[in-house]
Amino acid sequence: MRDTSCDFCADALNILVLQGGGALGAYQIGIFEALAEAGIQPDWVVGTSVGAINGALIAGNPEGERLKALESFWYGIAQPAASMGPAFHPWERSVARTSAMLWGIPGFFRPRPLWTVPIWQSFFGEPPSLYDTEPLGDTLNRLVDFERLDARHPENVRLSVGAVNIGSGALRYFDSSHEALDHRHILASGALPPAFPPVWVDGEAYWDGGLYSNTPVSWVLSERPHGETVVNCYVIDLWSADGKVPETLQEAQLREKDIQYSSRAGEHLNLLEENQALRMGIENLADHLPEELRQSPKIQRILAMTQQPSINVVRLLASARPGETSLKDIDFSRATIDSRRDSGYQDMQEVLSRCSQFAPLPEDIGVIVRNFTRNAEGELVSLSTPDASPVDDDQASITAEDLPSQATGS
């Protein structure tokens, strides 16, 4: 389905890019819910780790069943499964973290017997991991129609998931437009060591794609279609790159994790804009060439490389939450899942309300990146402006004169 809820999104290829982050991925439930309510269904989902799981649940179900599949997965793994109210939330979060480490999560992962874990030497042929993810494979096979993750399926939504080849250290994207996907590809994308075991696909062992790149924007940029198609790309970040200098060991562990898994999307999007500027420069230069030279095969090949679609990028960065610890990514308590889902829903709803007032992208711009997050006061701010001031209706209306200064990727 094409989005008709806002001018800048109309009649476009919709791409949803989902970062990895364990329990933080509950935020993406709300993101999808808000997009679906606005009539925006993805044509292509790109995910890493938990983003790959959520992506499979979306792409592997018909339109009307996607939110139900997300809810079935997340509420099925919630520990504790229900909340006793706000007064108990700190206790519930603590129980969730402890339970996940000691007993695993039903339907997701379970601990291996300690004597089988090959800490120094392998005696039982067990893989080098603390947990077994076979339950997740069973859950995915129950909730995902993998026949849909094949380009030959008439209702195929393209799905790409990133994983790292352990032997070569290279990042690989398993892509349903190139091959039929099954539960192994999703497990491979989320096989974070040493907790989870390597996953073997076609004779090669793979680990979590987040070890290499936790936000798979680069695959979108390398694989995006050529021609006249307008692309709307929604990039959802779960980790905060910004933060204060830690004063305690606990804060240091949290900050280390945030930096390690925070998005490199800004760098990729800056490159996108640089490439777009180069494309426009080549086209302008070609306008000054004699027609005979312009029609030469070499020049035509160069000009063909510049035929890229206009692309609107909306990047939403989930804000850090008070009281978070370095174990926030294993807090699967129902209360936290609900809270993160609500945050994603509210954030994307507000972002879409701002985007609905954006002017359509002029042909001579080609690329514009809009970054949003919430500040410490809970206000939605645009990081595309130098002062990151709260977004209001005046700021949301972008004119042709504004566009060059607005098109920023950081």
Query: Which DSSP symbol is given to 239?
Result: S
Instruction: Decide the pairing of beta strands 158-165 and 44-48.
Output: parallel
Check 49, 160, 189, 343 and give the catalytic one.
49
Among 58, 70, 98, 48, CA closest to 262: 48
According to DSSP, the residues that pair with 231 across neighbouring strands are 13, 311
Among 279, 301, 160, CA closest to 218: 160
Angle (CA) 168 47 215, round 5°: 75
Does 208 participate in catalysis according to the annotation? yes
CB atoms within 10 A of CB 148: 20
CB atoms within 10 A of CB 75: 16
| Residue 309 near residue 227, CB atoms below 8 Å | yes
- Look up residue 255 and give its two tokens: 């900050």
| SS3 state of residue 142 | helix
Check 43, 208, 237, 347 and give the catalytic one.
208
| Residue 353 near residue 276, CB atoms below 8 Å | no
Among 65, 6, 71, 67, CA closest to 34: 67
CA–CA gap between residue 20 and residue 109 (Å, rounded): 17
Does 49 participate in catalysis according to the annotation? yes
| Residues assigned a catalytic role | 49, 208
